[in-house]
Amino acid sequence: MRHACFFIVMSLMLLSGCGMEDTGSSAPINPATDVDYPLSTFTLKNQEGLEPVLPYTVFYDVYLGATPQEPGDDNGFAAELRAHLDTFLQASSDETGYKSVRNPIDLMHEVIRSGRVDNFNEGRQLMVSSVTENRAATYNTPANNALIRFSELHSGESTPAEDQTWLYPMLDWTYNRDKGKVYRAMQFSASSPEQPDDLTAEIASASSSSQYAKEAFGASGFNQPEYAATSMTGRTRGKVELLQEFVGLQRDTLTLTQASGMTLNGSDPDCVKAVFQYSTSRVTVFTSKGKQTNDPDHCGNQEKDAWTFAYDAETISHRQQ
């Protein structure tokens, strides 16, 4: 499948960051250390008088871009999609987008963007210095047996204890001088409750990887990726994969596998792929049920004219993730 291949390619690029010629005494030192950082809340939302944070969240364009130009043309897809993703993102959404999100991928992105953690700033500065000096470098937490932990100081009364602390076993920045690209990857692993219930957070694990042009990568603020891949595995609702292309095609490809609880065109597919072509404001939806991943009819393998339905969506004038 195309989306699976993309994740594999991103992983291989991350692993190829430093060659053996860069492992000697002259190679930059990996500065990754343990990070134990408290936050007042894990919830992200825009606040009056402050720079908006939601436009930097991963699914911002998808929520807006799913809105049909003519009500009903989407066969109810936008509402079904948002309801499904809300469970993963702990999002408060409406008919066009969301007003808040609470999930480990967006939180890590925002902590990095805002420059709150000195050690993360060191990792970014290492990348900038390595680009300037044209030498490979890596910030990698597993290599230093470092663990990242975020703690929520003011959780809601209904928030389970295991969801008030988020652990990230891996954060990596790599500069590959041969490719002239900076790569970032992260992994999140949720704590398992003794007795899961309706309050247990849906995300069991998640990962994210991004590719950046070296000329556009900075040590502070937001770094616009060229490509990004996000994957979230749920406890009960299957898996979500989002591939984002910010150069060239300006396209997002969202794939939901082992999905449950969605109704589209009067059926309940367990696989849904939606391609958001922002340059033409067109959304194309592929669905399947009961198909193996190697089956050509599996939604992840369907292409072009095999779509279930397509529609014209609201125009997203610019991409802000």
Q: Is 81 domain-assigned?
A: yes
Residue pair 219/125 in contact by the 8 Å Cβ criterion: yes
Residue 319 — very low, low, confident or very high, per pLDDT cuts 50/70/90?
Answer: low
Residue pair 112/123 in contact by the 8 Å Cβ criterion: no
Pairwise pLDDT comparison (49 vs 321), residue with the higher score: 49
Across the range 144-171, mean pLDDT stands at 95
Q: Is 22 domain-assigned?
A: no
Task: Note the pLDDT tens digit of each residue in 166-212.
Answer: 999 999 999 999 999 999 999 999 998 767 778 899 999 999 999 99
Direct distance between the N- and C-terminal alpha carbons of the chain, in angstroms, rounded to an integer: 25
| Total length of the chain | 321
Q: Is 209 domain-assigned?
A: yes
Task: Note the pLDDT tens digit of each residue in 247-303.
Answer: 988 899 999 999 998 999 889 999 999 999 999 999 999 999 999 999 999 999 999
pLDDT above 70 for 5 = no
Residue 56 — very low, low, confident or very high, per pLDDT cuts 50/70/90?
Answer: very high
What is this structure's pTM?
A: 0.92
pLDDT of residue 206: 98
Question: Taking all residues of the chain, what is their mean pLDDT, rounded to a whole number?
Answer: 90
Nearest to 104, CA basis, from 158, 36, 151, 63: 151
When mean pLDDT is compared across 43-52, 172-181, 310-319, the lowest value belongs to 310-319
Q: CA angle at residue 29 from 28 to 33, to 5 degrees? A: 145
Residue pair 111/53 in contact by the 8 Å Cβ criterion: no
pLDDT above 60 for 36 = yes
Q: Is 23 domain-assigned?
A: no
Q: Is 279 domain-assigned?
A: yes
pLDDT of residue 173: 98
Alpha helix (H) residue ranges in the chain: 2-15, 60-65, 77-89, 104-114, 118-133
Question: What tokens were used for 292?
Answer: 């193996």
Q: Is 48 domain-assigned?
A: no
Residue pair 202/219 in contact by the 8 Å Cβ criterion: no
Write out the H or E segment, with its range, that includes residue 186. Answer: strand 181-189
Tell me which residue range forms the domain holding 297. 2-12+59-312
Give CA–CA dist 244/57, Å, rounded. 12
Residue pair 302/275 in contact by the 8 Å Cβ criterion: no
Task: Note the pLDDT tens digit of each residue in 98-121.
Answer: 999 999 999 999 999 999 999 999
Q: Which amino acid is at 58?
A: V
Give CA–CA dist 175/164, Å, rounded. 33
Q: What is the dihedral of CA 8, 321, 46, 92, to 10 degrees?
A: -50
Q: How many domains does the chain have?
A: 1
Q: Is 271 domain-assigned?
A: yes
Q: Is 116 domain-assigned?
A: yes
Residue 26 — very low, low, confident or very high, per pLDDT cuts 50/70/90?
Answer: low
DSSP string, 210-269: EEEEGGG--SSS----SEEEEEEEESSS-EEEEEEE-STT-EEEEEEES--S--BTTB--
Give CA–CA dist 105/243, Å, rounded. 14
